[in-house]
Amino acid sequence: MPMPKSRNPMSRRGSLLLLLLALAATTVAAQCRPLILMTNDDGAGAPGLEAIYRQLKDVADIYVVAPAENQSGVSHQIDTYDPIYVKPYAIDGRTVGCSVATTPATCVIMGLEVFLPRTPDLVVSGINRGSNPGAVSLLSGTVAAARQAALRGVKAIALSVDVTDPPNYDAFAAAVKPLIVRMLTAALPAETFLNVNGPALAAYPKGLLVTKASRVELMWQYERVTNIRGKDLYWVKGVLDPRSYPEDTDWGAMQAGYISVTPMTWSYDHGIDLDALARGLELPKK
């Protein structure tokens, strides 16, 4: 025979109180969840971007503002004249942000000023197809997006990897995830962002290594051809300097099988002895 339902009003009030407390806890947890702004320079739909999104979606709220088309090599270009078109962007059938007809650095500015409800805890740029160590980073839209975030006082990390066949984005994303999770709460020096680069490996048993920037740069190869109308033109290809570098540099660490983690700054006069420069140029200095 079923037991009669309790008519105790105190019991009902207690249950209601527990429900309200549970809802309040859920709301507080949602408000405390970190916020990541994610972009890249390979464009919306790039496998590297989606690989790192899938690794991080369980640890933070993520809003993606990615270029609508490939923007590799645009460096820190900012769009100022043309209209910027925006459309929703989905990963695995879920809308996660938008694709924007602009450059990576502009994506970061629009993310911070237009799309996000508050300042993100971190900007993640990448994963880029192809590494960006040393002087190569100056050409990279991926690195420029992180630099733009640092310029606005927001912690940022640029992720790039030399790709294997089949692609190693998932392995690289899993290897750098713990670093990104730590960055959500760790402090970085002022004006600093991280440039992270992985070699073309299927796995990363050596892990990550903090390095300084090397002087490695792209070596440009130009092939001259004549088209069917008799006009000369050139095909250009950039390849990384094959020489060996010390393991305490980004390119040297990559050559040794590490993922390099290199601090960078947007302040181009960082570390320059201004007193010595003024004396050498015989100029005044305040």
Mean pLDDT of 229-243: 89
Lowest mean pLDDT among 38-47, 132-141, 211-220: 211-220
Supply the pTM of this predicted model: 0.86
Lowest mean pLDDT among 90-94, 159-163, 242-246: 242-246
What are the structural domain ranges in the chain?
A: 29-213+244-281
Mean pLDDT of 6-19: 54
Q: Quick one: pLDDT at residue 242?
A: 79
Strands 156-161 and 122-129: parallel
Residues 152-196: pLDDT tens digits?
Answer: 999 999 999 999 999 999 999 999 999 999 999 999 998 899 999
The domain at 29-213+244-281 falls in which architecture?
Answer: 3-Layer(aba) Sandwich (3.40)
